[in-house]
Structure 1
Amino acid sequence: MTKIIRNSAAFIIVDAQNFVLHEKGLAAQWGAWKFAREKGIVKSTVKAIERFRAEKIPIIFVIMELRPQISQALNANLPDIDFWKPIKGLDFTKITREEGEFQGRVIDEFIPHPEDIIVAKHHTMSGFHGTDLDKILRSLHYDTLLFGGAITNLCVEGTVRGAFDRGYNCVVLSDCVTSISEEAQSFATEFVFPKFGRVCTSEELEIM
């Protein structure tokens, strides 16, 4: 069992949005949405969210926010690499407001509550880079961070690394993070994350 102290912990869910975790998402071709459902990761995360809310552990959603008004100019300066291609190739003048809102929304299964905290990041993997996440956590005196979300070895890993570099105690919930394949998931949870903190399932977490 991995023990945490209730009053010093927060659950950070990274990029759990339709664009990556819905079959109609702009990045659906990566396959994270399919992996998450086949492996029961969505269901495990729903249970974890319900448990943490009951335990009064805050839920913090870190989201990738696109800004259509300036994205055309930004896109021209994005590197031509696979991670950015789904965004770099978009013509925002042809995307309706409704479609844009759908892509950016947290998936229905995780729908945020009014008391949850939303932190927006822009064109970056880490939830700490260029955001007020660190300031929020320190002002509320949270030093232990539980992690879930997508994609395990991309934006989740980037955010965990950012937390580690800032001195936080990191706990990655292996049944609440999703990658695109078993190989990618296992490498992150078995080799990378243990270097930065602890790894356990949400059910193995003991709250004190």
Structure 2
Amino acid sequence: MQSNKTQQGGVLGVFPHYHWRATEQEVDMAMPAPAPRPLRLNAEPQNLVIDLRRTAIVVIDMQNDFCAPGGWVDHIGGNFAADRAAIEPLQALLPALREAQVPVVWVNWGNRPDLANMPPNQIHLYKNSGSGTGLGDPLPDGRGNVLEKGSWAAAIVDELAPLPGDILVDKHRISGFWDTPLDSILRNLGVKTILFAGCNTDQCVLHSLTDANFLGYGCVMLEDCCATSSPDFCTQATIWNVKKCFGFVTDSTTLLAALQAPPA
């Protein structure tokens, strides 16, 4: 991802796709957009041509609380290992996307310590009996509070540590678009197509994807870069619904092959 921050004065806006140039006499709002960089991609239910210069990958909730030993899911007896299935494909894919200058956007639960913006229905979602370990409650062994911003619990797993130039967005609901700056950031980047990855496939990934669809983005689910501890029928229903209503489905192997193919 490239930014205009290093250019000379007069540039208003930090990304190449959307900026103005200003002088004392004039503001030029008609800056030319970068030329498309088409990429042909096998997908279902139809094959695609996407513009790499207007594409971003959004990786959702690959956090210690979901994916690491000693995290929240592990603590409450869930199958955290299932959520780790997305790590290896992402380790292979993300360097190639960065090399192609596709922005990498990490969207993670990052709750306020006081839960001041968290209504009762969201707290109930993960603590439906009113007792136990839910949002903001402490984990054992000093690992922090569940999904609290700045804690080990909410950090991205070590295997996928973000790099400089990646963009991090905190979310506070299952959807990454609700009450967050994600849509504004993507629009300033000039993004038209979003590649979706992360966990859980049938929950935060799906509902972020559907919100993106409603906002007008082209949505592509990378099936092997998504994971869930839910039963398999949840994954199958999610994939079916994405292909039927909300976008397209492919995988990291297919995308890597397309990125590595010689230009047409």
59, 62, 66: which one aligns with 2:107: 62
Instruction: State the match for 2:199 in structure 1.
Output: 150
For residues 91 and 34 of structure 1, the distance between their equivalents in structure 2, rounded to whole angstroms, comes to 21
Structure with max Cα Rg = 2
Contact 1:12 1:147 in 2 (8 A): yes
CA deviation after TM superposition for structure 1 residue 99, in Å: 2.8
For residues 63 and 132 of structure 1, the distance between their equivalents in structure 2, rounded to whole angstroms, comes to 12
Q: Does 1:87 align with 2:134?
A: yes
Let me know the Cα RMSD of the aligned residues.
2.4
For residues 80 and 53 of structure 1, the distance between their equivalents in structure 2, rounded to whole angstroms, comes to 36
169, 174, 177: which one aligns with 1:125: 174
Instruction: State the match for 1:9 in structure 2.
Output: 55
Q: Please give the secondary structure, in 2, of the residue aligned with 1:11.
A: strand
1:135-185 deviation digits (Å, cap 9, x = unpaired) = 111111111000000111111111001100000000000000001133222
Aligned residue type for 1:16: M
CA deviation after TM superposition for structure 1 residue 203, in Å: 1.6
Instruction: State the match for 1:52 in structure 2.
Output: 97
Instruction: State the match for 1:30 in structure 2.
Output: 78
* TM-score normalized by the length of structure 2: 0.68
165, 170, 185: which one aligns with 1:136: 185
Instruction: State the match for 1:109 in structure 2.
Output: 159
For residues 178 and 54 of structure 1, the distance between their equivalents in structure 2, rounded to whole angstroms, comes to 25
1:40-76 deviation digits (Å, cap 9, x = unpaired) = 43111111111111111110000101222x13x6678
Gaps of 5+ in 1: none
Instruction: State the match for 2:254 in structure 1.
Output: 204
For residues 197 and 22 of structure 1, the distance between their equivalents in structure 2, rounded to whole angstroms, comes to 30
For residues 193 and 233 of structure 2, the distance between their equivalents in structure 1, rounded to whole angstroms, comes to 28
For residues 80 and 130 of structure 1, the distance between their equivalents in structure 2, rounded to whole angstroms, comes to 16
Structure with greater contact order relative to length (CA < 8 Å, sep ≥ 6)? 1
The structure with the greater share of residues assigned to helix is 1
Contact 1:78 1:84 in 2 (8 A): no
Gaps of 5+ in 2: 1-41, 44-48, 146-150
Segment of structure 1 superposing worse, 162-171 or 191-200:
191-200
108, 120, 132: which one aligns with 1:77: 120
Q: 1:45 to 1:84 in 2, by over 3 A?
A: farther
Q: 1:80 to 1:63 in 2, by over 3 A?
A: closer
176, 192, 200: which one aligns with 2:241: 192
For residues 138 and 159 of structure 2, the distance between their equivalents in structure 1, rounded to whole angstroms, comes to 29
Q: Please give the secondary structure, in 2, of the residue aligned with 1:104.
A: coil
* TM-score normalized by the length of structure 1: 0.85
Instruction: State the match for 1:176 in structure 2.
Output: 225
Q: 1:74 to 1:136 in 2, by over 3 A?
A: closer
For residues 168 and 30 of structure 1, the distance between their equivalents in structure 2, rounded to whole angstroms, comes to 33
Segment of structure 1 superposing worse, 194-203 or 164-173:
194-203
* Percent of paired sites with the same residue: 27
